[in-house]
Structure 1
């Protein structure tokens, strides 16, 4: 059986650089709005995109115990090329659905780490299908639905430490 070769998607932000610090305005210490995001290199055959932001360093990077989920979007049309800063639910690309974050709500929740310098993984997936309406799924439920449909992936990491 041949191994599936995933396309590498390019995911960037004008708000911060890869492995750079996320500015305060995108966090609980600022306006808590989503950063501007852009993507490209979506593979031919992509029917939808999935976007997830999570923090594997929660609650303390010195002793992480969980991955905290900040934003879950799916069924983003493959012809969308990004999300503007501070995007509202009504301005998401047509057809885009939201999952639940770990604050038990939909929408963006910015970095707000209790201690230490955390990494925030912004992950974009290209799927070979449009998923059914999963009724605000958790990240785990969405990842289960995505299985065997991922044809490309891109990642952008930002960092944040609160100014205590």
Structure 2
């Protein structure tokens, strides 16, 4: 096989796989893309008085070979120098394609784990940007993974989870909501 033929086949395969990953989507009955988060998704504490309830999420058309999922909620605009991890759930079985509003460790699918958020809990921690800041972006990402489970527990930091997710991702789908006060 010539180099040009090899490159053409490789590029074709990459475009084919990329097209399938582009079909992977996440939706929510609680969050509209680019819109303000509801009071239910705002933190209760740090000067915020919200419901501190995780949003309902559904995902569709995961890449072929998906063996498990992870869900993260991250604020890249937090004034920390490293963003703010609000929620992480991993080792979600591949047969699961949604999480209800108000998901807790007790209501997760068997085997799924909630990791540590930056509030210091292994739970959902809602939006709570500093008063006067511009609206922050709250990025909900569903990760399709090539492994049945990640070797992490409920004490896993966002950074460690992020490392493992990027090493095992087949694709990801993202939904972004906004919140400021």
Name the TM tier (shorter chain): 0.7 to 0.9
CA contact (8 A) 1:42 1:78 kept: no
Counterparts of 1:126 and 1:70 in 2: how far apart (Å)?
19
Going from structure 1 to structure 2, the CA distance change for 1:132 and 1:150 (only over 3 Å counts) comes to closer
RMSD: 1.8
Bigger fraction of residues in strand: 1
TM-score, structure 2 length as denominator? 0.80
Bigger fraction of residues in helix: 2
CA contact (8 A) 1:97 1:133 kept: no
| Alpha-carbon distance, 1:150 to partner | 1.0
Taking the TM superposition and a 5 Å limit, the aligned residue runs for 1:94-105 are: 94-105=110-121
| Alpha-carbon distance, 1:145 to partner | 2.1
For structure 2, the 5+ residue unaligned runs are 1-6, 44-48
Aligned residue pairs total 158
| Alpha-carbon distance, 1:40 to partner | 0.8
More contact order relative to length (CA 8 Å, sep ≥ 6) = 1
CA deviation profile, 1:43-81 (whole Å, cap 9, x unmatched):
22111101110001112xxxx733100001111111111
- Which structure has the greater CA radius of gyration? 2
Query: Residue 87 of structure 2 is aligned with which of 67, 71, 79?
Result: 71
Going from structure 1 to structure 2, the CA distance change for 1:139 and 1:157 (only over 3 Å counts) comes to same
Counterparts of 2:52 and 2:167 in 1: how far apart (Å)?
34
* Residue range with higher mean Cα deviation, 140-149 or 115-124: 140-149
